[in-house]
Chain A
Amino acid sequence: MLPYLATALLVLVTAYSAVVSFRRPRDGSAPTWIFPNRTRRSAQITVGICTLAVLLGGAVWLTISARHSIRHSSRFLIPEGYVGWVRVEFQVNGASPMPVEGGEYLFTFPPSGVLRTSSSEEYGWAKDHYFYYSEKGTRMLPATSAGGGGLIWGKINGEETGSQGKRKYEEFFVGTEQQFREQPR
């Protein structure tokens, strides 16, 4: 819907601005509703007040939502050598809650790559850490932007409806950028 609306409005604006830019108004011709000379003072003030209200409302909303979206950092432990998608399913009845270590949620994935927890998903910005784990210890996995040599890609937060009602989940891909781009999804 949005692409069609945007394209239609773009066509209108291009045509309208071209006509207004290149037309030569006849001397003494009165302004019309479609080609106004300038807007009334009262309308200018109304637009200014409405703009200010929208900007202020946006700032207040952003401030309030930022205060309510505190998220703990997470430490994701992935089996050594695992390549592929991993998934955390939240609010699963009967599953255990996520343990917290050093102020960080600890997500230890089984070899299947699917982890279920009764804990709720948290929202907001936080620095997460990713590791491969084995009997020998842990090895950090870098999470970078494209071309940075990272091993964590395509993080997705979603919601799906199943037999237990709505369930939130988080997924991301573990592997090289090339493996991420070549993998079937």
Chain B
Amino acid sequence: MIPFFLYLAAGVATGFHVYTLLMLAVVGAPVDLLEFVSLAGSLGLLVAAYLSLFKPNAAARLALPASLAIWCFYGPAIARTVGWF
């Protein structure tokens, strides 16, 4: 059950976070394409969570590219926040 809860919690937390950022578009905030890539990655983690109940290794092979897709948004966002560029 560890992989299930891990993938589920990460998928829900990242998905909800990026969704709230996307919703700022209604007050005029610019939308970044990487936010959609990240949202797709969160969906992939949710699928991986349920797959992990039956095939943990296949779920991990799905969760890895999904988490890398999420990093596409979080990586530059963290780098900009800490002032790396």
Interface residues of A (CB under 8 A from B): 2-3, 5-7, 9-10, 12-14, 16-18, 20-21, 33-39, 43-44, 47, 51, 146, 153-156, 180-181
Contact = CB atoms under 8 A, between A and B. Distances in A.
Contacts, number: 91
Interface residues of B, number: 36
Interface of B (DSSP majority class):
helix
Nearest to A33: B2
A17 B14 CA distance: 16
B60 A10 contact: no
Interface of A (DSSP majority class):
helix
A148 B73 CA distance: 27
Contacts of B25: 146
A126 to B, nearest CB: 15
Interface of B: 1-4, 6-7, 9-10, 13-14, 16-17, 20, 25-28, 45, 48, 50, 52-57, 60-61, 63-64, 67-68, 70-71, 74, 78
B28 A180 contact: yes
A34 B67 CA distance: 19
A47 B4 contact: yes
Contact of A39 (B7, B14, B53): B53
